[in-house]
Amino acid sequence: MGVCGQDDWVDVPPLDEFSLDNSANSVHGRRNRLLRIDRENRRFSEIEQIFKKGWRHRKKDRPQIQCIFKVLWPESMLESYLAYRHQIVRAKDMRGNEQLLFHGTDRACLLGETRNNVLLCSLQKCSLCSILRTSFDVRRCGSKNAFKRFGHGIYTTSCSSKADDYVSNLSNDAGLRVMLVSRVVVGKPYKRYRNAVDLIGPPMGYHSIAGEIGWDLNYDETVTYHNDTIRPAYLVVYGHKEESPVTVKEFISSMFKTPLAS
């Protein structure tokens, strides 16, 4: 009986943190793709910190984060993203420059509104659920906003208060707001200070466009032009919950746990 040499080992990469197949996420089924993160979790503080730091509009009150969900993906959806990142890492001898960036979009349903609202809807107008189901699609990006500063690409930003400008609740029952935090393979960004609305990609040797603050921009933005450059990673639920005023009758009723006669 021979002894296995080191060459016989097959190098199997560990499953991605966001994979549904990762045993760390095993409590979740394929319909429920959102995993709520506890406030005590280190990841919660990290996301909260970049959200707070990114809230740079002085005239907009910084909202409270109510909840953060991690977005889980079927392995097949992560493979192409990780393959792209790997390609950049190898090509440029760098770590792919993966960043967590914000994106605001339309929500027609009440996803994330409470900790139990975690199933993606199938409403056609719900861009949020569409993105969470199949990730970003360059062909559909920017269809809402006719003006595309850096051409036809996928727009993200480190400025949460800027992404907030694009967050829109289409349901009147929505009380909170939700924003996507995505993993973006920024690679080597090409810095631009002026608009370039006809762009369909970065120049040779670059992987993204970084819209720099200056001439035409007040807040930074990152644009990539390929679907596999990005995957949503977290959903931040924020805003101020409206407390319904508790009447004296309800208060007494709750104390004694008995309904009061009217």
Q: Residues in the site for Zn ion, rule: CB under 5 A?
A: 109, 111, 121, 126, 129
CB of 226 to Zn ion, least distance (A): 25
- The one-letter code for the residue type at 120 is L
Q: Which is nearer to Zn ion, 121 or 185 (CB)?
A: 121
CB of 126 to Zn ion, least distance (A): 3
Q: Which is nearer to Zn ion, 73 or 225 (CB)?
A: 73
Q: What are phi and psi of 176, to 5 degrees?
A: -110, 175
**CA 96/CA 227 separation, integer angstroms:** 16
Q: Which is nearer to Zn ion, 129 or 181 (CB)?
A: 129
Unique residue bearing structure tokens 């720099």: 212
Sheet-wide strand order for 230-238: 34-36, 65-71, 230-238, 177-185, 98-103
Give the residue from 127, 237, 130 showing the smallest Cα distance to 178.
Answer: 237
Q: Which residues have C-beta within 8 Å of that of residue 96, sequence separation ≥ 6? A: 85, 86, 88, 89, 185, 186, 187
| Extended beta strands in 104-247, E state | 106-107, 154-156, 168-169, 177-185, 189-192, 208-211, 221-224, 230-238
CB of 34 to Zn ion, least distance (A): 11
Q: Which is nearer to Zn ion, 106 or 228 (CB)?
A: 106
CB of 124 to Zn ion, least distance (A): 10
CB of 257 to Zn ion, least distance (A): 36
CB of 20 to Zn ion, least distance (A): 19
Q: Which is nearer to Zn ion, 99 or 117 (CB)?
A: 117
Q: Which is nearer to Zn ion, 78 or 111 (CB)?
A: 111
